[in-house]
Chain A
Amino acid sequence: MAGDRFATAVALRADLDAGRVSSLTLVEAALARAEAAAGLGAFVHLQPERAHADAIESDQRRARGDLRSPLDGIPVAIKDLMVQLGEPCTCASRILEGFVAPYQGTAAAKLREAGAVIVGRTNMDEFAMGSSNEHSIYGVARNPWDPARTPGGSSGGSAAAVAAGIVPIAFGSDTGGSIRQPASHCGVVGMKPSYGRVSRYGLVAFASSLDQIGPFARTASDCALALAAIAGHDAADSTSLPEAVPDYAAALNGDVSGLVIGLPREYFAEGADPAVVECVREAVAELERAGAKTREVSLPHTSYAIATYYLIATAEASSNLARYDGVRFGRRAQARTLGEMYRRTRSEGFGAEVKRRILLGTYVLSAGYYDAYYRKAMQVRTLLRRDFEEAFRGCDLIATPTAPEVAFRIGEKTADPLKMYLSDIYTVSANLAGIPGLSLPCGFVNGLPVGLQLLGRALDEATLLRVADAYQRRTSWHEQHPTPSWERPT
């Protein structure tokens, strides 16, 4: 029912099919909740007119018996770096203020093809650079479990929107953990698909060899539907993979017996909050009771992952962000000459974290340092990739904590960029290796959600979803929701 803000997409579909509710009612309720949750800072732009029209069309399709997908008529949200024809796309950056997309991104196109109704665009760290959603021109997004804490980042708005029961499904992007870490901190399911599983056409580029779009949902079964809607080859993205997309929903059979779960000793060694590790170990024990087997594995180059990641990601970012020059779109500073215009536009348009990463990336690519930093990092990337290949010879998937701690306080890490970067210590390796990763809620520490991360072989999203779903059939962490203390009457 529209009245249950925490209803899953699967449940809403049943309500729609039974005629208990219309898509228009669901969409209006989602928009009203988004408005009432302005204090959470989860959304940066709502699109009521387009959403109303899309919902009415969905209701007409349903009346005709002409549904496009299980998501037809379901309200969803997308991160403010996913291009959608005719709507703004700012990446939470001043430099893209006023930009309206002149083309349709593939993810938005596929969501429309599936009949899903995009109600709005979610908050994020500027250009997806951050782990806390504190680097945004729109201001911070807040964690629904404790508004004094960050929702994580960079897709903080999408995670908060799902956790707060504004929409059942939202989409974000994950370059080094930007879906999984906020999913962990907000107590929802978040998945980074294998590199190439989802088209990046219309995803504003941060680090092109690492970026991937993926879904947030409250259950693994909703996550499977959301992934199915956006996955697949796209002629417009030559890095998207041609392999057929499996039926993810059909993979959710609740059976994990005989699966071997690898536990990388480097991820359980030290550095994580012991209470977080305890929750993760208990979640693994639950999967053992369900019939899975466990074994210790080793990913020996793990301690080099963050350094490798920040060299590669910033190098790629410095190149990708060269396009923001005030010439073709976005903001332009007034100046007498072209060179002066470039400098002023970029200096006024980018925030401090983006500048820091552009500088680091420019440095590591510059003459004399390329081999020492960038090439070296690409070589270590090979070692990290081989670590996973070796580990997956002895297990079907890997389980780890998603983040070393629960959600931290707003302002706690902004003064120390390196400390912030270490928030991604368990997530960056999956991006470097191109493998899929999923975070799902597995308990609470001091009233704040803890995430279990599952990592799989390339293109084996189905196993991760199957295990996550089996876990959720046996546990109820995903049925615990925050109290909507953020709501004020509109």
Chain B
Amino acid sequence: MSYVATMARINPAEVERIADLARLELAPDEVERMTAELEAILGYVAALEQLDTTGVEPTLFARLVATPMRDDVAAPPLDPEAAVANAPERSGSAFVVPKVLEEDES
């Protein structure tokens, strides 16, 4: 049994769906251009389908050694003032963001 779904062609609706997942907004001409470019790239990488990789272990890291243990010693963290110093908007040592929930105009 093969788990491999076929590599698919991409269309503008798919590009918009992916852009949404990636939190990107694309203008209509960008959608068109990205669709063509991604189509070309996906066409190129489809060559991998020719290879039988049944039973081949995936490599996530080229050289993954067991994560070395270290002593659990308390150390000073990044100073909160330094941590928020680059924030576009802050309140004390907190990051300020716009409203999380969409609201109706009232």
Contacts and interface: CB of A to CB of B under 8 A. Distances in A.
Task: Decide if A and B are genuine partners.
Answer: yes
A355 B45 CA distance: 19
Interface residues of B, number: 61
Interface in B43-96: 44-45, 47-49, 51, 53, 56-65, 67-68, 70, 78-79, 82-89, 95
Contacts of B87: 327-329
B68 to A, nearest CB: 6
Interface string A367-388: 0110111011111111101000
Contacts of B44: 306-307, 418
Contacts of B15: 359
A195 B63 CA distance: 7
A337 B102 contact: yes
A343 interface: yes
Contacts of B95: 327-328
Contacts, number: 187
Contact of A359 (B4, B7, B22): B22
Tell me the interface secondary structure of chain A in the complex. helix
A366 B99 contact: no
Given A336-B99, A381-B58, A417-B41, A458 B63 contact: yes
A358 B88 contact: no
Tell me the interface secondary structure of chain B in the complex. loop
Interface in A301-315: 301, 303-304, 306-308, 310-311
Contacts of A195: 61-63
Place the interface of chain A in its size category: 35 or more
Nearest to B71: A235
B86 A102 contact: yes
B61 A369 contact: no
Contacts of A238: 67-68
A175 to B, nearest CB: 13
A103 B78 contact: yes
A347 B45 CA distance: 26
B13 interface: no
A239 interface: yes
A102 B39 CA distance: 41
B5 interface: yes
B13 to A, nearest CB: 13
A25 interface: no
A235 B59 contact: no
Most buried by B among A328, A330, A350: A328
A365 B23 CA distance: 15
B23 A342 contact: yes
B23 A325 contact: yes
Given A194-B63, A241-B65, A378-B59, A340 B98 contact: yes
A72 to B, nearest CB: 29
Nearest to B79: A102
A324 to B, nearest CB: 10
Contact of B45 (A235, A307, A328): A307
A270 to B, nearest CB: 16
Contacts of A320: none
Nearest to B47: A307
Nearest to A243: B65
A416 B58 CA distance: 30
B48 A308 contact: yes
Interface in A322-349: 322, 325-332, 335-344, 346-347
Contacts of B78: 102-103
B24 A382 contact: no
Given A341-B97, A366-B21, A383 B56 contact: yes
B53 A383 contact: yes
B98 A100 contact: no
A440 interface: no
A331 B88 contact: yes
Contacts of A338: 97-100
A209 interface: yes
A350 B19 CA distance: 13
A486 interface: no
Interface in A189-228: 194-196, 209
Given A363-B18, A434-B63, 15 more contacts: A195-B61, A241-B65, A331-B88, A343-B24, A344-B25, A346-B22, A346-B24, A359-B19, A362-B18, A373-B7, A379-B53, A379-B59, A380-B56, A381-B62, A385-B62
Interface of A: 98-100, 102-103, 194-196, 209, 235, 238-239, 241-242, 301, 303-304, 306-308, 310-311, 318, 322, 325-332, 335-344, 346-347, 350, 352, 355-356, 358-360, 362-363, 366, 368-369, 371-373, 375-383, 385, 417-418, 421, 432-435, 458
22 contacts: A99-B86, A102-B86, A195-B62, A209-B62, A322-B23, A328-B95, A331-B88, A332-B89, A335-B98, A337-B101, A343-B25, A356-B38, A363-B10, A363-B42, A371-B3, A371-B5, A372-B8, A376-B48, A378-B59, A380-B53, A421-B41, A434-B61
